Amino acid sequence: MKAKELRAMSEQELKIKTIELRKELMKINSQIAIGTLPKSPGKIKEMKRTIAKILTLKNEKSNTIKTNKNGKNQ
C-alpha cells in the first residue's frame, strides 16, 4: 500500500489493517518454518514494509499531537 492511501485511513482502520497484515505474515512464516514455499515470496517483503509504514504514520501523528499540546510548533 502507498503511504498516501494509509494517510487517508482513520486510526481504527490502520489498527485493523496492521492486525490483518501481522496475522497473514504469521501464517506465511509458519508455512516457511514447516518447509512449504509461499505462493508469492515478494509479498512477505511488501507486508513488512506496509506494517512499517503504518507504524511510522502512527508515530508521526502521536508526535505532532504531543508537540501541539506542549505549545511547540514545527
Residue numbers of the domain that contains 60: 3-69
In a domain, 26, yes or no: yes
- Give pLDDT, residue 66: 76
* pLDDT tens track for 14-64: 999 999 999 999 999 999 999 998 888 899 999 999 999 999 999 988 888
Q: What is the pTM of this model?
A: 0.79
In a domain, 74, yes or no: no
CATH of the domain at 60: 1.10.287.310
Q: Which residues contact 53 (CB under 8 A, 6 or more apart)?
A: 1, 3, 6
Q: How many domains does the chain have?
A: 1
Q: Sign of the CA dihedral 50, 53, 57, 62?
A: positive
